[in-house]
Amino acid sequence: MNTKTKILAALGLLVAAGVLCTADIQATAPTAAQPPAQDKQFESYGQTQVIAVEPVKEMFSHKSHVVTAGLSCDSCHPDLFERKRGSTKAKGDYNMASLDAGKYCGACHDGKMAFNTTGPETCKVCHGSDMKQPETIVFNVPVKSVIFEHKGHVDMGLDCASCHDKAFEMRKGAAEEHPEKFTMEALYAGKYCGVCHNGTDAFASNTRCTTCHIGVKGFERKFAGAAQVEGKDHGKKEH
Amino acid sequence: MNINELEKLNNEGVEHLPSLERRTFLRAGLAITGLFMGGTILSLTSVRNAESAVGAPPKTEKYPYSPHYSMVMRQNLCVDCERCMEACVQTNHVPPYGWRTMILERVREIGPKEKETIFMPVLCNQCNEPPCVRVCPTVATYKDKTTGIVVMDSKKCIGCKTCMAACPYNARYFNEEIRAVDKCNFCYDTRLSKGKKDTACVEACPAKVRVFGDLSDPNSEVYKLVHRPETTVWVLRPETGALPNVFYMNA
């Protein structure tokens, strides 16, 4: 009798131990891959979705300036623009920063004489309707999976000039071209996101890390479809 | 009697069961219940070595190994960029289905409609009392006598996977290529024994989450972090009594 009792007790223990072990393993296993999120149009993995690098064609209407506005030739030539095709571009500083500083178009387009060049709506007047505002930007350089809610920031009431082109050049992937500059130290020094994220205007860059750094896991959950295309599945397999 | 014969037998029913047999059965049931109740009551009493929740400082004068390799995770700095995992895979030839280190993710409510994500890097804790070593039937896994690193001797491994079940940290996987269980060994064969001072994951981490060093050396950074006053240092699953050597804190 006694032997039987012992055997039964031992059996019970084994079963219980088995259950406990499995529970243990499950508890430590990483979260299983999430089902793919709803279809989202993104041009490619980790890239931002901004405007064409080159300004669109016919961004400047000579006619509307001469005929409609009635400007004389010497309003612009040769002080602002030389009378030679491509000469302005060749100077190398034909960009929004110069316009802001009152050069080229910025001589008149300062918000007083003519519409300014960096307002939320006026960008499109010259750069055309192909300029798409990205909803979410994901940076992968220098570290992976850092998210920026572009739409959220625009909805907050910020206009293009709040960030472009001083904190961020308005071009897809521009910040990521300089991984040695695009660092947390730069942010702490008031560059890039640090322009606002300094603890006064918005939460400081050295706090709440995971708000922007959503991690590879966060990224894969958010953009499940895109991540699979890239084939980056390491560490996400089932055990 | 084989299974086919068993199937042919008639059901005897319970009407004619001798009362002795019933009593034996009931007694067995009571024994099992008693065993578990006893366990429950025991678990309600204070844990003998609850100090192991903070783990580190040994009551005896020194740490058992020299160098006593250990790692400190400054958890709140981790942003899950997974460079550590990439470096580990490259250095230690970890197959795509395997892992030596991982990043776990947890979402914590910090207020109404406010959440924060916490990333937790995990790897083998190189425990002082490793449950995996205790269960290995072939001594294929053992504590290195000098460094305290839990090492695998893949030639001795028979692939029974008992160590995988015993590990409280899910730090082991079965490597199909070498037909043996594989695990983190603090890059002992790939880096430390070649004179490098830290592991591949430590070197790769851009946020300096991981700090690696000799816990028995009071001048090492790990020693200073683990023994820093007014700091909460914790280990994972202290209740297992495994005395892990990977410590967690917030920087």
> By the CB < 8 Å criterion, does B234 face chain A?
no
**pLDDT tens, residue by residue, B151-178:** 999 999 999 999 999 999 999 999 999 9
Radius of gyration from C-alpha coordinates of chain A? 28
User: Are the beta carbons of B79 and A237 separated by less than 8 Å?
Assistant: no
What pLDDT score was predicted for residue A67?
A: 80
Residue A186 belongs to a domain: yes
> By the CB < 8 Å criterion, does B203 face chain A?
no
User: Are the beta carbons of A234 and B86 separated by less than 8 Å?
Assistant: yes
Does residue A230 carry a pLDDT above 80?
no
A109 and A180 part of one domain:
no
Residue A96 belongs to a domain: yes
Residue A155 belongs to a domain: yes
The domain that holds A160 is classified in CATH as 3.90.10.10
> Which of B25, B105, B113 to probe by mutation at the A interface, max A CB count within 10 Å?
B105
User: Are the beta carbons of A4 and B86 separated by less than 8 Å?
Assistant: no
Cis bond upstream, residue A78 (ω within 30):
yes
A123 and A140 part of one domain:
no
Confidence of residue B28 (pLDDT cuts 50, 70, 90): very high
A109 and A183 part of one domain:
no
- What would the mean pLDDT of A52-79 be, rounded to a whole number? 73
CATH class of B52-249: alpha beta
- Chain A environment of B82 (Cβ under 8 Å): 144, 215-216, 234-235
ipTM of predicted assembly, 2 dp = 0.71
> By the CB < 8 Å criterion, does B251 face chain A?
no
**pLDDT tens, residue by residue, A153-180:** 989 988 888 888 788 887 788 899 999 9
Question: Has this prediction a pTM greater than 0.90?
Answer: no
Alpha carbon of A139: minimum distance to chain B alpha carbons (Å)? 11
End residue of a domain, out of A103, A127, A151: A127
Q: Which domain holds residue A80?
A: 62-127
List the domain boundaries for chain B.
Answer: 18-47, 52-249
